[in-house]
Amino acid sequence: MSALASSSDRAELSSTLTPLRLRGSGRWRGWVLPLAALALWWLSSHLQLVNSALLVSPEKVVATAWEQIESGRLWRALSASLAREATGFLIGTVGGLALGALLGLSPWFNRLVGPSFNTFKQISLFAWIPLISVWFGLGDVAKVVFLSLAALVPVVVNTCDGIRTTPPALLDVARVYRFTRWQTVAQVVLPAALPAIFTGIYLALIYSWLATIGAEYLLVAGAGIGNTLVEGSEHFRMDLVLFGMVVIGGVGWLLNASARVLERRLSRWLGRA
């Protein structure tokens, strides 16, 4: 009996530990491809498999990074880019929430504005660059307008769709309890649409960061990480270009992770409320 008990205990312990092992190994799988790419980059540069003028060594990129940090140029460029991103994201998100709510809640407004907005969202974002540069120049105002457009569209689309897809059963309950229109919107429609609204805001945050780099690269006046790439390409400094790409990817990853954490916390707080 003791032998059977011990074998059953071992089986139970093994079944408990197996998911933990899988979860632990899964956390590290995402590092396999970046580490393999880094190793291939290091070997290619040191074995001179690629022209050194086209692909500099990782050590050179690290030295450039330290130079940019020590001189303060990284912080100046990054702060300028993030300030533009935050401003454009805020303007586009607020405008997108208002427009999306009107399109979703008002059939009259949707018939009036909906067809025009559906046409507007089909236009490629970068197709607006020539018009924006003529109207607003090449400075920060033009870049913020461009970023606002990038953030506006996903927020409008997801907010409107979230409101329109409110489950009919919830609306029936609101009618049974004789909710007013504003009570139905505040207590039924908007809470049901929150997941879609969060998705739109999350996409706006990512799109506005990508648009920040595009705007700085195409509208080259002023400081920014995109201008660091321009400087590197103009002077054929691949170390500066690669450094800028690493910074852009790192900031994008941080924005993505921060948005996910904030969304989970807000969802839990709203659920308790």
Task: Read off the pLDDT of residues 70-128 as tens digits, 9 standing for 90 and up.
Answer: 888 889 989 989 999 999 999 999 999 999 999 988 889 989 988 899 888 888 888 88
DSSP classification of residue 187? I
∠ CA 216-222-223 to the nearest 5 degrees? Answer: 80
Q: Where are the alpha helices (DSSP H) in the chain?
A: 2-29, 32-46, 58-71, 73-105, 107-120, 129-136, 140-164, 168-176, 181-184, 190-218, 225-234, 238-272
DSSP classification of residue 183? H
Tokens of 97: 């929430």
Share of the chain above pLDDT 70, in %: 85
Query: Is 262's pLDDT higher than 90?
Result: no
Share of the chain above pLDDT 90, in %: 18
Average pLDDT over residues 18-28: 56
Average pLDDT over residues 56-75: 86
Higher pLDDT, 9 or 113: 113
Query: Is 161's pLDDT higher than 60?
Result: yes
pLDDT at 13: 47
pLDDT at 19: 54
Q: Tell me which of 132-136, 193-197, 222-226 is least confident.
A: 222-226
Find tokens 């800028």 and name the residue.
244
Tokens of 73: 């140029």
Phi and psi of 51, rounded to 5°? -55, 125
pLDDT at 21: 53
Torsion angle, CA of 50/54/57/61, rounded to 10 degrees? Answer: -160
The full length of the chain comes to 273
